[in-house]
Amino acid sequence: MGSPSVLGVLHPPASAEQSGARPSGTEPAAALTGEHLRGLDVHESRLRLRAAWLMIFNGMIGCFGVLWDIQWHVDVGRDSFLTPPHLTLYTASAVSGLISLWMVLWSTWRFRRGALEINERTTVQLWGFRGPLGFMVSGFGSLALVVAAPFDNYWHQLYGIDVSIWEPFHMMGMFGNTVAIFGLMVLLSSEFNRAVRRGELGARAGLTSSSVAVAGLRGDDTWRHPTQLAMAAGLLVALTATFIVAIPAAQGSKIVGHIVGVPVFVYPILLGVLLPMALALAGLIMRSPFAATSVALMMTVWRFLTMYTVPIAVEQLRLSEGMPYRPGMPYPQLLSRYLPLTLILGGIAVDWYRHWHKKRQSAREALPEEASGALMGLLATLPVVLTWYPYLNAGGSKSEGARKVLTSVPMTTVTSLLMAGLVSMVVGYLMSRLAHPLKRVLR
Amino acid sequence: MKGLKRVLKPVSSMMMAFWLVVGCSNTGLAQTTEVKPKLIGSIAGNSAPLHTETLTVSGAGIESGTITVGFYEWPLRVDQPALISVEGALPQTRTSIQLQPDAAVNALVARAMSQPDGALPDVSWHELTAIVQGRWTLQVKVRPESEASKGFTPALVSVDALAPVASLPLVVEGPPAMPRWLAWLIAASPLMMLAVFVRKLNESIEHSSSEETPWWEGVARSYGAYRAAASDSQEPSP
């Protein structure tokens, strides 16, 4: 009786009584059966899922914008801030943010009107707003990405057009993107869990307890739920963003960095951080027995799409701007050429482990969830690092050069690989900790 | 197959819409190189330059002479379009300008949108923007005007490397530099917020653990109790 939703039941606003055929939380009190209210929940879920798909689509457009922008920088160089690649990137982020903002504002407004489906058990309250947590997080991430734009321009004004990807406001954009994708995962996880609670999915797929650490149950068809495909697509955005950071880092001038004074190759360590965030998380929160492999396969398809479209976009823009290529350019498909065919190996390794873990779990011999996460992080990273490492660290073009690097600094190579393995396990562990609330969230 | 179609249809529609937008924006860009520079039309003839420089031009095919370069924005500031007039006593020539970054400045050559003055035959107008602060060199190039180049339309003009050149070193001013620690503090703000959101997520989970029944069942029960209480209170007492 004390919750706002119940107050809404008891005092529905008069204007809402003329609502149409769609079930509405503010309909006359006589309609309030459990089944009717459940219908409201279903409708709300559909709405949120549609908004999530729009945001994923914008995420893909934004990733294309970044790929286009980096290739444009390398091949031509920019002579203004508002280039079409930048506009594509920032417009996509802004639209994503606006969708989130709209969903939060609309939820807040409906809550104040007494709409039953917006209540304390389907939304959270933050700073006076009420809405699904996923939209709040994702909206903030998009906002951070857009706010980073003028700061990024300011940094370029000071230090030049080719400042490294590691500069603060590039990283701010990447952090914002990470937060936005995290928000998307919260949203999709909560929608999956809500569907389970509504009884739309099999009982075995119910809110997973910590004892059911790894999904992919035999005979379980919960992976067919729409949230699962959306999760895969969302993680694909994460993976694209990963390679946006990782590939220039591997091919650029800053191949070798120092951690506590020890020289290391940046690329494998970076992959150790980023790959578990996509592939191990896929293995931990998605229901498909082929979750990580399917995300990796989607990435391969995306690779082929961008391989052919990004250079076309660069060439078209160059012609329309009347700008010349930089000396020695175009360097074809710089970003997409090396995109992750070997990633599929990492995906298969993660899925194979999940299958093995499931079998051991039934025999009560499985590793604890956190240890599984750490192992998945390692499995996601190692095949990619081991196969790409020599190729990319040599500049990605000549195997002879690769051998030269490997033989000239063997200690650095070993240190880097060990550190990458360690880092990937730590990140995998953190992902398992993150997966725990994601399997339960309902708001 | 049906499910695949259901996914592919909206995605392909959205991709088509995206490419349409990209295509249109590219066409638009192609047109922007042909339009009249916006500053030239608004300032030219209405005000005096804020700063002028006199340069000497000499070279093959050109009579030696001086030209006056007028700056309608002075000092030049980063990312601010600058209107520049070039006035010279060099008949039958065509003038173009560009800003060449010094070796320490990481930027491309800034090309100018150029346009001859409609009324004065020895005056031309140029608009350019430097996007990085630091030392640049303004290069004014003059070449004999051929029949083909007469009455040229405003466009982004690449300066002919063989033309006689007059150079003017100048400094493009930028905003004050932010300390690196402050830049990193701002840049890390999304991560700080991430901590807030993760805490909120965990709080939300803690609350969920005590919610065994779906929300709608609770609401329906409350409503049932309310109805029952309301009907009891409306029954006439015997």
The string of pLDDT tens digits covering residues A91-115 is 999 999 999 999 999 999 999 888 8
DSSP string covering B50-64, please?
Answer: SEEEEEEEEETTEEE
The answer to whether A198 contacts chain B (CB < 8 Å) is yes
Which tokens sit at B216? 């709608």
pLDDT score, position A191: 87
Beta A129-131 vs A256-259: how paired, if at all? unpaired
The predicted-structure confidence for B7-20, as pLDDT tens digits, reads as follows 555 555 655 555 55
Regarding an ipTM greater than 0.95, the answer is no
Which residues does B6 contact at the CB level (< 8 Å), separation at least 6?
none
Number of Cβ atoms within 10 Å of the Cβ of B155: 16
Q: Show which of residues 139-168 on chain A sit within 8 Å of chain B, judged by CB atoms.
A: 140-141, 144, 148, 151, 153-163, 168
The predicted-structure confidence for A214-245, as pLDDT tens digits, reads as follows 344 444 566 667 777 777 777 777 777 766 66
Give the residue with greater pLDDT, B151 vs A59: A59
**Contact check, Cβ <8 Å, B189/A441:** no
Give the residue with greater pLDDT, A369 vs B210: A369
A2 has a pLDDT exceeding 80: no
Distances (CA, A) of B172 to A438, B5, B166: 51, 56, 18
Name the E strands within A58-146.
124-126, 129-131
**Contact check, Cβ <8 Å, A178/B194:** yes
Residue of A nearest to B194 (CA): A179
Q: Show which of residues 379-438 on chain A sit within 8 Å of chain B, judged by CB atoms.
A: 434, 437-438
Which sign does the torsion angle of CA A267, A269, A272, A274 carry? negative
What burial letters (b/e) apply to A72-102, b meaning 16+ CB within 10 Å?
bbbbbbbbebebbbbbbbbbbbbbbbbbbbe
pLDDT score, position A391: 58
Confidence of residue A337 (pLDDT cuts 50, 70, 90): low
Residue of A nearest to B172 (CA): A157
The predicted-structure confidence for A20-34, as pLDDT tens digits, reads as follows 344 455 555 555 777
Looking at the DSSP assignment, which residues form a beta bridge with residue A258?
A: A263
Mean pLDDT of all residues belonging to chain A: 77
Helix crossing, A84-113 with B2-32: angle to 10°? 130
Indicate the length of chain B as a whole number: 238
Q: Show which of residues 85-144 on chain B sit within 8 Å of chain A, judged by CB atoms.
A: 105-108, 110-111, 129, 131-133
**Contact check, Cβ <8 Å, B223/A6:** yes
The predicted-structure confidence for A155-191, as pLDDT tens digits, reads as follows 999 998 877 777 889 889 888 988 898 898 899 888 8
pLDDT tens series, chain B, 238 aa: 555 555 555 555 655 555 555 554 544 443 333 334 444 545 555 578 888 888 887 766 666 778 889 999 888 999 899 999 888 756 667 788 889 999 889 888 888 888 887 777 778 889 999 999 999 999 988 877 665 455 444 444 455 555 667 889 999 999 999 999 999 999 999 888 888 888 888 887 766 655 567 777 777 777 777 777 777 776 665 5
The predicted-structure confidence for B108-136, as pLDDT tens digits, reads as follows 888 888 888 777 777 888 999 999 999 99
The answer to whether B181 contacts chain A (CB < 8 Å) is no
Beta B82-88 vs A262-265: how paired, if at all? unpaired
A335 has a pLDDT exceeding 80: no
Closest CA to B144 of B162, B157, B126: B162
A-chain CB neighbours of B222 within 8 Å are: 1, 6, 9
The predicted-structure confidence for A379-423, as pLDDT tens digits, reads as follows 988 887 777 655 555 554 444 544 555 555 667 778 888 888 999
The answer to whether B184 contacts chain A (CB < 8 Å) is yes
Instruction: Please tell me which of the candidates B18, B189, B214 has its beta carbon nearest to residue A144.
Output: B189
The answer to whether A115 contacts chain B (CB < 8 Å) is no
DSSP string covering B122-155, please?
Answer: TEEEEEE---S-EEEEEEEEEEEPPTTTTTPPPE
Best mutation target, B157, B197, B199, B227, to test chain A (most A CBs within 10 A): B197
Average pLDDT for A143-156: 92
Q: Cα(A63)–Cα(A433) distance, rounded to whole angstroms?
A: 27
Nearest CA-CA distance, residue B37 and chain A, Å: 15
Instruction: Please tell me which of the candidates A40, A175, A198 has its beta carbon nearest to residue B190.
Output: A175
